[in-house]
Amino acid sequence: MHDLTPEDMEKLPRHVAIIMDGNGRWARSRGKPRLFGHRNGVENVRAIVNTAFEIGIPYLTLYAFSSENQNRPAEEKSGLMRLLEEFLTRELKNMMGDDVRLRAIGDLNGLPEFAQKAVTQTIEQTKSNKSWNLTLALNYGSRQEILQAVQSFARRTNGRDEDLEWETFSSYLQTKDLPDPDLIIRTSGEFRLSNFLLVQAAYAEIFVSPLNWPDFGQDAFVEALKDYTHRERRFGKTGEQLATASTKSFPGNL
């Protein structure tokens, strides 16, 4: 299935977030309408989700529809929402069988009623599943999420001056039940986060693939994971500090 070594498997990210970009360009290069690209992109979602969970990554977040995507033509938006409904309806049985819990972040009220219903019903039906976690970012924008968190905190404190730490503030974010992403993958060769998990990604490793999303298959996904296993995550420390801490924590040197 993959060529990850035992050493790679020990260093895999716990949470991978993907900016699925390039469906429209993929379709255009084939002389097809944009929705043709989106449909093929949805088919690739199934492959990547299955691969992630088979390899052993417990949290996967997919940037499916941004708040800025609301500016797209009505026909494209409607087609995307129908594809979302179709995907959730089709995959519910597999989610239940594989013990996958679905979550969603973003303003679901901005989605058509039929899409809201499909999302909320799937969330409800999978809420007791525990083995794997799939989160869809729908009508999501990180800046909007941060503003909402600030407003919620202000209402709770009623305007009182109160010291605020990240652990407290992060509990007001829509991702409060998720660990921060370890790895963010972006397809189509674009080097930007596009208003996605801006504060949660503070220490995430970033991998950019030149492939458009429908072409980003299992082999490309595994390549991104292998690249991640060779990164040194410092979290503000020097390499020497990390090496010293690792040596001190090794039982043979105690």
Domains in the chain (CATH in brackets) are 12-141+180-248 (3.40.1180.10)
Burial class (CB in 10 A: 0-12, 13-18, 19+), 133: buried
Active site annotation includes 99: no
pLDDT score recorded for residue 234: 73
The three-state secondary structure class of 115 is: helix
What's the confidence (pLDDT) of residue 238? 62
Q: What pLDDT score does 235 carry?
A: 67
Nearest to 19 by CA among 212, 149, 170, 203: 212
What number of other Cβ atoms are within 10 A of residue 21's Cβ?
24
For residue 254, what pLDDT is reported? 31
pLDDT of res. 2: 76
3-class secondary-structure state, position 109? helix
8, 69, 98, 215: which one is catalytic?
69
Active-site pick, 21, 23, 44, 133: 21
**44 catalytic, yes or no?**
no
Low-confidence ranges of the chain (pLDDT < 70): 1, 159, 235, 237-254
